Amino acid sequence: MQKLLRRYYGENAIQLREASHRSAASLALQAYFEGDTDALAGLPTAANGTDFQRTVWDALRRIPVGKTISYGDLAIQIGRPTATRAVGLANGANPIAIVVPCHRVIGADASLTGYGGGLERKRWLLAHESVYPASRQESQLGLGL
């Protein structure tokens, strides 16, 4: 995580330290994993990326809980219908997974496609949001999330 933070924000821009109080992000993530799947919607975000990446990440935040979209449809939605591959790359570069719900983007044939946390976690997140059924084993394991 520290490597990614340095890459996105600069060598000395972020300093991790023990917090005296739980942050809004921490509370929202806890609520999300406890079943309030709308808990992340109001969290402010600030991610360092190209203008195109930030456009894609903003569009990801507008995908409603319980819905998915294909890379091609997301490209159309942002006004760049020929940029499907670039949308996929921007999606994969998302530094704030779950809060910026890149897991809601699927293949044109409704298949689960790449996810930095692994397809099993993507499947779990979509099942948690009641989009994609989790396998019995994944439901029992909870995937350690």
Q: So which residues are the catalytic ones?
A: 102
| Helix/strand/coil (H/E/C) assignment for every residue in 79-136 | CCCCCHHHHHHHHHCCCCECCECHHHEECCCCCCCCCCCCHHHHHHHHHHCCCCCCCH
Amino acid symbol at 28: A
Question: Rounded to whole angstroms, how far apart are CA atoms 70 and 81?
Answer: 12
Helices (H) and strands (E) in the chain, counts: 7, 2
